[in-house]
Amino acid sequence: LREHISNHVEDSNTLHTLRTNIYMEDRYALGLRLNPRIMHPVDSDDRDLPFGVIFIHGRRFNGYHFRFRDISRRGMHLVTHPNLEQYALESEEHYDKCYGLAFAQQLKNKNIPDGGAKAVNLIDVSGLSNKGKDFAMRKSVKAFTDSILDLIVTTEETQKNIVDYFGKKELLYLGPDKQVSLFSFFVTYHKQ
């Protein structure tokens, strides 16, 4: 597959996808474990390079998970805006916001073994009622969590549908953060 992509795809950015669930049957969202270098080129970015970057795209949401060490922890933050204009503005800052929150946590964790991490899930709730907004948020958390689990679970059933150029096991901690405490039960219970 890698050779086919190299020979037939002009955009070298696809080579920065280290793991994906694109072939997963019944997936809730597209998950990509990215090489952090794609957004932090050596010659033009002096920020610290994250250890891991995961991007998830699903219906009505996009999410990032950053971590600065192999073993890192922090919560998932949900961001919603009432209209498309505010959502579009937030989309422009989404990557940098997640990076900044994870890096701030990394600085806070400097005296403990765990590194800093953060997940930021940007959800489009424009035009939805309060009930619809709650539903979209729940579904986004579920899809985000399922897609990350697709990328890290090592069962034979899961691994046969994952494209994996990373080749290493990963463990992630997603705890509650702003607007997520209502959904913590789902995340904890879902894949036990």
| CA distance linking residue 33 with residue 44, whole number of Å | 22
Residue of 97, 110, 118, 191 marked catalytic? 118
Give the contacts of 109 (CB within 8 A, at least 6 positions apart): 72, 115, 116
CA distance 59 to 95: 18
Burial class of residue 157, CB neighbours in 10 A (0-12, 13-18, 19+): exposed
168 catalytically annotated: no
Tokens of 83: 């209209």
Q: Listing from the earlier edge strand, what are the strands of the sheet with 17-20? A: 163-164, 17-20, 29-34, 52-58, 61-67, 115-124, 72-81, 173-176
Residues tagged active-site:
118
